[in-house]
C-alpha cells in the first residue's frame, strides 16, 4: 500500500468506496481483508505523523539556535 492509497482509505469522504477495493487483500477475503488494509493504512499514517512531528521539532530547534546566535 502506498501513502496515497492509505490516505484515500483513511479519508472519511472516500473510506466506504475505498473499502470496496479491499475485498481481497494479501491473501485475505472480505472483512478480514478490509481490516488488514485499514491496519496497514493506520501504520503508514502513524509513521507519517511521527516523522512530521520529528521534522517540526527539528525546524523549531533550528529556529531557537538562530535566535540564540543573534545575541
Residue 23 is given by DSSP the state: S
pLDDT bin (cut points 50, 70, 90) of residue 69 is: low
**pLDDT for 36:** 92
Can you say how many angstroms the Cα of residue 58 is from the centroid of all Cα atoms in its chain?
20
Residue 54: which domain range? Answer: 3-69
> CA-based Rg of the chain, rounded to a whole angstrom?
19
CB-based burial of residue 64 (10 Å sphere; 0-12 exposed, 13-18 middle, 19+ buried)? exposed
Question: Does residue 9 have a pLDDT over 90?
Answer: yes
**pLDDT for 70:** 58
- Per the structure, the count of domains in the chain is 1
**pLDDT for 68:** 60
Per-residue pLDDT of 27-66, as tens digits, reads 888 989 999 999 999 999 999 999 998 888 888 777 666 5
Amino acid at each position: 500500500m502506498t501513502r496515497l492509497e492509505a490516505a484515500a482509505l483513511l479519508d472519511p469522504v472516500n473510506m466506504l468506496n475505498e473499502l470496496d477495493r479491499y475485498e481481497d487483500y494479501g491473501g485475505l477475503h472480505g472483512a478480514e481483508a478490509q481490516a488488514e488494509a485499514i491496519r496497514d493504512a493506520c501504520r503508514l499514517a502513524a509513521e507519517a505523523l511521527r516523522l512530521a512531528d520529528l521534522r517540526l521539532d527539528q525546524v523549531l530547534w533550528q529556529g531557537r539556535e538562530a535566535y540564540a546566535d543573534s545575541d
